[in-house]
Amino acid sequence: MDIEFSQEDLEFQREVVEFIEKNLPTGMDVWTKRTEWFEALREQGGWDVPKWPAEFGGPGFTPTQRYIFDMEMGRRDTPPIIPFGVGMLAPILINYGTKEQQDRFLPGIRDGSVFWCQGYSEPGAGSDLANLQTSAVLSEDGTHYTVNGQKTWTSIAHIANWIFCLTRTSRDGPKQEGITFLLIPMDDPGIRVEPIITLGGAHSVNNVFFTDVQVPLENRVGEEGKGWTYAKGLLIHERTGLAGIQNSVMALDKAKQAARNVKVGNGTLMDVPTFKNRVGELEVELLALEFTELRTLASVSAGGDPGPESSIMKLKGTEIQQRITQLNLEASGIYTAPWGSQAVGPEFARGATSAYLSARAFTIYGGASEVQKDVIAKNVLDLGSSR
């Protein structure tokens, strides 16, 4: 397989590396100087919104440039972008929204003044998302929808200003055809948010309840009943991103460094054959996953979509992430017992337990592993549906 970059792509790669070396905040400044970092990205030519086309202020990256950009950013501790607005809603607005919706919502998404959350999963519709039941009933005069129901596992709903939400507007025909995409302000009095504290002790996800929430017709994106079409394309790209290949490369390097600092006999934990073998297995699997990503890149560069390969990347990528947190947990030894506010021991050990517990969700959100295996069996291996 030829994975050589063109001369132009190599020059772009050097440009990205030089930009990071010049502008990336270090230490705690990664958090305190986030604004300056994103402003520098914006001034570079729309790099703060890498998925956006040039006509909307983005860089208009080619698929290869986008891969290089993500790869180099992932190799370093760059300040993370909250994905829901910039990376998830914005592409839908750009492709399916009206000019008025684009003018109204895109500026706040880009400058970070408006936080968005994603209203997809429900208690009975997680991986089987098309089974969602949150209803949206159009008024007789056609001016607004009345929304009732519940969303769950909703990340950052407790701090979000708006939610983009899949709702059911019809129960006739296939369940995928009765779904409508709505934009709803979170300060509506009919919305109630309840926290969910995860196994890792964090509050990042929530239950969101809707009681007679009135949503103006102009807050509907695209056509009524076509929301599944819009969401499906987003999920394919989301699953590709959840693989987190470059982040895993960096995390594995940190786990190896941690193991080298743990004394075992006359050597270190990295000298223990069983531990070293597991590290080697992960390095090989990460390399194979990167080649899968490059094959997907070749397809996209030729005008295709990520397709079912995104399920392979999501499945393997999230499993690898979990196994890396396990390595770090083992390297942390006795220091994994006290954690959270009571954390002690070396720096790498202080977040080990929380990271390990939080990682249990990686193979669930974005489509559980069982769902990804169904997709792979049907669309990659041509085995037909297992349902």
CATH of region 243-380, choose from 3.10.150.10, 1.20.140.10, 1.20.1250.20, 2.30.110.10: 1.20.140.10
Would the pLDDT of 296 be above 80? no
CA pair distance 249, 11, nearest whole angstrom? 23
Residues 6 or more apart whose Cβ sits within 8 Å of residue 163: 116, 117, 118, 119, 151, 154, 157, 183, 184, 186, 208
Query: Which of the residues 72, 224, 238, 309 is marked catalytic?
Result: 238
Would the pLDDT of 217 be above 90? yes
Strands 203-216, 191-197: parallel, antiparallel or unpaired by DSSP? Answer: antiparallel
CA pair distance 203, 358, nearest whole angstrom? 11
Residues 6 or more apart whose Cβ sits within 8 Å of residue 76: 20, 24, 250
Would the pLDDT of 304 be above 70? no
pLDDT category at 305 given cuts 50, 70, 90 is low
Give yes or no for a contact between 105 and 94, defined as CB atoms under 8 angstroms apart: no
Q: How far apart are the first and last CA of the chain?
A: 35
Q: Which residues pair with 194 in a beta bridge?
A: 207
290 a catalytic residue: no
Determine the 3-state secondary structure of 341 from DSSP.
helix
Digit-coded pLDDT (tens) for 313-353: 889 999 999 999 999 999 999 988 877 667 778 888 888 88
Listed by start position, the domains of the chain span 7-81, 116-225, 243-380
CA pair distance 69, 58, nearest whole angstrom? 13
Nearest CA-CA partner of 70 in 368, 287, 290, 322: 290
CA pair distance 245, 296, nearest whole angstrom? 14
- How confident is the prediction for the chain on average, in pLDDT? 89
CATH class of 116-225: mainly beta
Angle at 209 between CA 203 and CA 210, to 5 degrees: 145
Nearest CA-CA partner of 49 in 141, 117, 95, 112: 112
